[in-house]
A and B are shown apart, each in its own frame.
Chain A
């Protein structure tokens, strides 16, 4: 599988400001979240990148990308028609090739030397099929994530054959249809905001009924029935900047995984020492 292109979606209503948030990256440089995400894609081998944005945001997003790839395209999404519709807009940019898809409001910290997106792309190359990155997630977080159900691929400890995809399931539905053997009780495989997809996804998104909202999860559910589709539990952690304290947590995680770890730790300790004792 040859993978050269990446699509980043950043046009979600009320979420489009998160890619522009500025943070200190692992190397101690002040950068936008989008810049860090573009780095993630570049490190995975995708040097042609499209970003789907809200009309009018193009200039700010161009400025936010401090290390542009060899090809960068900003695709405006004229109407807020949903996540699936945003991905579909990148069909012409992607062409007939598999591609890496990232969301613009998530940051990732890998547990290994290999960055998260790279781990995913390597797995997709090895398996030669669509693969979504997933992370075991407590059921209390289900209202925020797409979730997959499936079974573990034989002789693999981090790879799953996807059978079902449900967007933001209730815990009841999750327990009935999305339980995965081997996970801790009350934990489910939730999307990581990072996928390697085949062009089939565009057909599925385009084929949505006229009265149906183009949902990426629905299309992914159909993809699982159309072709081999895997979930890979990458070694790393995702941070959704849109959650309460999401930006703060992401910043801390980046800092503690980077060169300024000791300094940040010292500041945290200092902060803790200054806090009045809780009652």
Chain B
């Protein structure tokens, strides 16, 4: 039997928990392929879901880590075999089984690292899909949820709103409908036992899934008088047959008459309220697509002519708090809807245990429907005070029995709080809002693989939890603090290094420095740090520390805000343990009013309407509201608020016209060119479809002779290395790092200076991308015994920040800037419909469709092709592509300065900021010198993640082709080599391209107007020959408390790689190892980059500090 199958099927726990790395040690490629074949056969026939999934993750690991190392990236043609385009299409369509069959058939005739990269992705995603499907099935199969999927017509609807809520009281039409007011705390977890609260993991290993979870009320320190339940939901009947939804904190409201709109989650900011209406069964999921109107549904559920209103409010708690605000809000909304429909017994007070469990199950259902993913413990705020939440083994009769070891829903046991945490804990939101999703997938993968260090760390996290529980029971806060600190510095950072970051560690250091022994410990809330966090102090200094932390966080944010994605200013909370969990009150008569924020939003609209057009209930409500403004303290100040709303001050959120104009002038904005681009864009002369080369263009893979292969050490004997070293020693070489970008993909549009993003701990400290390149240049110069100028190109988005960073580099500021535009709808549709897209799971796909419909409406409303100015300045302007970076050096005088300092300078290595493995390797320089080309471009054998063009023969001539220029997207998969962008440039040859010489460059640098004009004309002339691409970039617009919307906006760019298309630029291509050429574009790549040894290789290339 295969040794890996034996591990998966072992009864003996010690064998079953053996790591794959240990089991694969010593296996050669043949042995690994045999194991992979056995595992694949096993997973196809295995009825047990978790064994099957583990086999899938084993297979993914073999293909991602073990086989590529055993196969090597070279040396024969088979080593660079292409990934079949149909296989990629199947992967994008999430048809993993078919993709695997196709890829395996290709691999049978010659395995390769490229094919293995695709197989690894297919196996991993199939594993995750299998787990996600199981969770979804379990959510549907829970008793109490099933009926909602059967109701397909209003006539079949079995729910009724309780009569007490439909009756208006003794005054008849003169009294309002009662209002239900649910208030719910949020939850904080003292430990999640190393992310064991992920659904998959709780169901795989229920005995390890334990968390200590406390319900808390919150207030913002200095703003709110006292902590209170931060989440509120309101429910009432209305006398219009519609569903009226309002989110007070998101300032959104909608009157919905269509069932279909209730299921349209991405249309507005009311998705959570809609999910609650559905998950509570009022508009059950089974009724979607029935064609019924909401009036028909409500006629049965509420009464003919009546409707419902649901209002949510979050008390200013920002997104990313790691306090599960959104899950608890969803639970609160569901709870109030369940009470109103008799699914919870009581209209007021708390819930019983069975009802709480049902609310939790419905919240999971709601999150699935809304395409989000809350955790297994996240609705903890529904329960009172402190509780231990544990995984429960599935037993006969459970829907999970025989499929997973654990049940979907955990158990909740109250834990007495012996310790007064409020006396010691300072709870904060650090201001960062990051997506924790990739981390959860990484943890799942590591645990199912039983990766050695991580598995040991998980066990330790379990021990830490026991220690915390003991501390809580004994009332020993110091003990709790020691345990939570150990948790963070030990298991958490071992399992997922990315759960920490430079900002968090700077905060901890700052607090420790100021408070020494009176700072008792740090506590990470939720799945990652930077957002919600806790600092535990000696009670004697806690109050002072609250104020101090605000200062420390503000200072640290200023230090890191250009490199890390902050969504808001840091906040210090006041908090109190909530002893009763979710709680409801029924307001009747004159008290039947909604909160002040609701009226601030709705009353201006009502006042503008003719009184006779308002329904009776609205007129009545206005009267009650008017009376309340005069008598109720919580409505005090409403008159001023309404006045401001009715006569708002001039809008300040948009980029101010004068500010924008000034910035554009200062940054070299070309108004005439911009207007020409706008005209071309609107007329359809340029656009996403026009980026493509003509359909008749012949795109073929290059021949073996078109590329050379390079491996570190292999050229040493040929003397090329020595030639490179000599050139560096003579001062002939420089490095140019492209750092104009804002890491759109890295931070999902948040807009930070990617060069300054401290992305990884290397040589003992967090290092930015630029730190890495500086360390490598320093080492090369030391080894070669010369001076290596290091130029960093910047843009208006990155220049001031890079200047302030004070690194030993020469900055080359961008000389051109573009103004983003509202995209054309045809480009949006082209991007979504004509380009290959990742299919999502059913609910997320619906969500995406809905968001896209909203974006089309936005583009039409805002004006296609109009200037995009409804955001901060940095998000409205854009750099115009890296083609301009070398010309910028000519125009800005930076090249002249270099030439004056090092007149023998001739060779430039140009590379992207995220190609962290590249360096000024003397052997490669020697090879470039020896080759005699104007440009030598480094390429790597293509893996699945390498998308966006590559090296091709275009109409018979080798050149780089951008992905967006491919006439047929699938052609990309026939190209074996991917462009790293790293280019070795012969400066003199490049100047010849521009028709310039060194003398002109130097003269321009001295201020010679004629030379400057000649350079400007040369740059314009050559640039005109470079294609202009229209692209869509996602930009985030931030608003409210850490809320973000993402908009795709149009911009144009010219790219460096197209220089290889010019016939007068002789170009050579060299294949380098992936560890050198791979680009870090996405945070999700980091874990694999660390694990496959790339990080260690980079560490070895630098002189650190």
Contacts and interface: CB of A to CB of B under 8 A. Distances in A.
A171 B354 contact: no
A172 B157 contact: no
A143 interface: yes
Contacts of B354: 176
Given A175-B144, A176-B143, A140 B155 contact: yes
Interface string B123-151: 00000000000000000000111111011
B957 interface: no
A171 B143 contact: no
Contact of A172 (B150, B155, B156, B358): B358
B281 interface: yes
A208 interface: no
B660 interface: no
A53 interface: no
Contact of B341 (A139, A170, A186): A170
Contacts of A140: 151, 155-158
Interface string B919-938: 00000000000000000000
B313 interface: no
Given A170-B342, A172-B358, A143 B147 contact: no
A176 B338 CA distance: 15
B1067 interface: no
A138 B158 CA distance: 9
B160 interface: yes
Contacts of A185: 146, 150
Nearest to A179: B143
Interface in A117-154: 138-143
A170 B146 CA distance: 13
B343 interface: yes
Contacts of B150: 139, 185-186
Contacts of B159: 143, 170-171
Query: Taking each of A139, A142, A170, A185, which has the highest tally of chain B beta carbons within 10 Å of its own beta carbon?
Result: A170
Contacts of A143: 158-160
A106 B354 CA distance: 35
A171 B281 contact: yes
A139 B354 CA distance: 21
Contacts of A139: 147, 150, 156, 158
Interface in B350-387: 354, 358
Contacts of B341: 170
A172 B157 CA distance: 12
Contact of A170 (B143, B145, B155, B343): B343
Interface in B877-900: none
Contacts of A141: 158
Interface residues of A, number: 16
Contacts of B343: 170, 172-173
Interface string B411-452: 000000000000000000000000000000000000000000
Interface string A82-97: 0000000000000000
Interface string A20-48: 00000000000000000000000000000
A175 B147 contact: yes
Contacts of B157: 140
Contacts of A175: 143-147
Contacts of A142: 158
Contacts of B358: 172, 176
Contacts of A171: 147-148, 158-159, 281
Interface string B326-355: 000000000000100111000000000010
Nearest to A141: B158
A172 B155 CA distance: 17
Given A140-B155, A172-B281, A173-B343, A186 B143 contact: no
B507 to A, nearest CB: 46
A171 B343 CA distance: 8
B365 to A, nearest CB: 12
Interface in B261-282: 281
Q: Which of A138, A142, A171 has the most CB of B within 10 A?
A: A171
A138 B341 CA distance: 19
A179 B145 CA distance: 13
A110 to B, nearest CB: 27
A143 B158 CA distance: 6
A172 B160 contact: no
Nearest to A186: B150
Interface string B813-831: 0000000000000000000
Nearest to A143: B160
Contacts of A170: 158-159, 341-343
A141 B160 CA distance: 11
Interface in B293-351: 338, 341-343
A262 B147 CA distance: 40
A185 to B, nearest CB: 7
Interface in A194-216: none
A278 to B, nearest CB: 16
A142 B147 CA distance: 12
Interface in A170-191: 170-176, 179, 185-186
Contacts of A173: 144, 343
B337 to A, nearest CB: 11
A176 B281 CA distance: 15
A226 to B, nearest CB: 23
Interface in A33-84: none
> Closest 10 A-B residue pairs measured CB to CB?
A140-B156, A171-B147, A171-B158, A172-B343, A172-B144, A176-B144, A170-B343, A139-B158, A176-B143, A175-B143
23 contacts: A139-B147, A139-B150, A139-B156, A139-B158, A140-B151, A140-B156, A140-B157, A141-B158, A142-B158, A171-B281, A172-B144, A172-B147, A172-B281, A173-B144, A173-B343, A175-B143, A175-B144, A175-B145, A175-B147, A176-B143, A176-B354, A176-B358, A185-B150
Interface of B: 143-148, 150-151, 155-160, 281, 338, 341-343, 354, 358
